[in-house]
Chain A
Amino acid sequence: MNPLLKVTGLTRMYGARVGCKDVSFELWPGEVMGIVGESGSGKTTLLSCLSARLEPTSGTVAYDTREDGLTDIYAMGEPRRRMLMRTDWGIVHQNPRDGLRMGVSAGANVGERLMAVGARHYGSIRAQADEWLRKVEIDGERIDDLPLTFSGGMLQRLQIARNLVTHPRLVFMDEPTGGLDVSVQARLLDLLRRLVTDLGLAAIVVTHDLAVARLLAHRLMVMRRGEVVESGLTDQVLDDPHHPYTQLLVSSVLQP
């Protein structure tokens, strides 16, 4: 059996500046990997390279496609990459407005991916949109409302529904709870945990919040200045940190 994602020597430079350097790992179906680090650590660069949005300077990102097995995502043509991003993958942006169409109803936002892959039955599209809104705990009554009228937490949940409607196997998340109130964060994390387990999703979650990482991720990669300084089982990395930087991170977390 193949890993879902196989990354080898991934490097992205910005001129002479290091974005991320020499990152290698394998991600298996159903695994959630957290990438933690502070600002400037390269975690967002890494996520962009992994999710086909930023071409690396060197190294490969291979995804286990349904038809051809492990395929270098930057070697496949743009049409195929787009298809992948629309069906097998999901991308949850930190700011939900980046991942939604604000001028179009909630139901249309969720149904768009279905229509993009050929769904042509209005009734069935609407029914699926309704089902997904309920799964992310948005009141079904809001299906025809514009996202402009939604709160931050609702927008984030709508973004998640929009991504999951095509049953992706891999979801990339960038600070999914950033900017949300604490109670809203808790609710969202609950939802993400349940969905990941129920749907057997693999995910790569970038976060600077170690508590979020502990809650969501099975594995952790700690990044500093573009390099992975430590990686392993989440609770092991957080409870028994080895690298000096990891120890610094863990000891810096405030306990309320």
Chain B
Amino acid sequence: MTAMIRVEALSKTYVLHTQGGVAIPAFAGADLTVAAGDCVTLHGPSGAGKSTLLRCLYGNCKPDSGAIRVRHDGAHVDIATAPPRVVLEVRKRTMGYVSQFLRAIPRVPALDVVAEPLRALGVPAEAARGRAGELLARLRIPERLWHLAPATFSGGEQQRVNIARGFAARHPILLLDEPTASLDAGNRAVVIDLIGEAKAEGTALVGVFHDDEVREAVSTRIHTMQG
């Protein structure tokens, strides 16, 4: 069984220089292995560093020590020390991320926001938009919204656009940070289905799920963080 992600002795402390240099530890000595088809939930109280760990996996946060080995192109890349262009390659082809908040690029319509990861892989516009439309439809975003920029959408709608984008390219690794936080029961169920399908396709998932129902439905393993 190949490990898709292997986290080794990872530590991260925030030092806030604007607040007189106060040090806020996020987590220390984290070890974690995620295989294809796994869905590992990061679990723990608020402030335990779950989001931080997830962001470290994506390269959005820089750990102080340790390694994050991600399986990319048949080899392992240490995200903690890789140069920016390598991390961007990994994000493009191997690792997707559904963040907590959608950072909307102004003026880009929702359909194109979702299609973008596919376009980055060279998929022609027609096909990419087709797949994007399927996902948006499943997540019950009405078609009349597809050609509008998501900046004016409600929180829940924005989150669903975010989710659609995360699942669009069928990356071998997918990171999910509170994907169902703003969703109703119906949409939560869709997300559970999407995660299930991804697992079946061999995707390695790491997620933070506050909602008990979702967590129970999707997790193959729980990784507890102390905080």
Binding site for B on A (CB under 8 A): 28, 31, 186-187, 190, 193, 215, 218-219, 232-236, 239-240, 242-244, 247-248, 251
Show 7 residue pairs from A and B whose CB-CB distance is below 8 angstroms, ordered by the A residue: A218-B88, A232-B62, A232-B84, A240-B62, A244-B18, A247-B16, A247-B18
The count of chain B contact residues (Cβ–Cβ below 8 Å) is 17
Whole-angstrom CA separation of A215 from B16 in the bound complex: 25
Whole-angstrom CA separation of A218 from B85 in the bound complex: 8
The answer to whether B88 touches A236 (Cβ under 8 A) is: no
The answer to whether B60 touches A236 (Cβ under 8 A) is: yes
1/0 per residue, CB under 8 A from A, across B1-42: the answer is 000000000000001111000000000000000000000000
The answer to whether B88 touches A233 (Cβ under 8 A) is: yes
The answer to whether A239 touches B60 (Cβ under 8 A) is: yes
Contact of B106 among A31, A186, A233, A239 (CB under 8 A): A186
Nearest to B61 among chain A residues (CB) is A240
User: Which residues of A sit under 8 angstroms from B87, Cβ to Cβ?
Assistant: 233
Whole-angstrom CA separation of A240 from B107 in the bound complex: 27
Binding site for A on B (CB under 8 A): 15-18, 55, 59-62, 84-85, 87-88, 105-108
Main SS of chain A's interface residues?
A: helix
Whole-angstrom CA separation of A235 from B18 in the bound complex: 19
Closest beta carbon of chain A to B151's beta carbon, Å:
11
Contact of B107 among A31, A186, A236, A251 (CB under 8 A): A186
Apart from A233-B60, A244-B18, A251-B18, what are 18 other A-B pairs with CB-CB below 8 Å? A31-B85, A186-B106, A190-B107, A215-B105, A219-B84, A219-B85, A232-B62, A233-B87, A235-B60, A236-B61, A236-B62, A240-B60, A240-B61, A242-B62, A243-B17, A247-B17, A247-B18, A248-B17
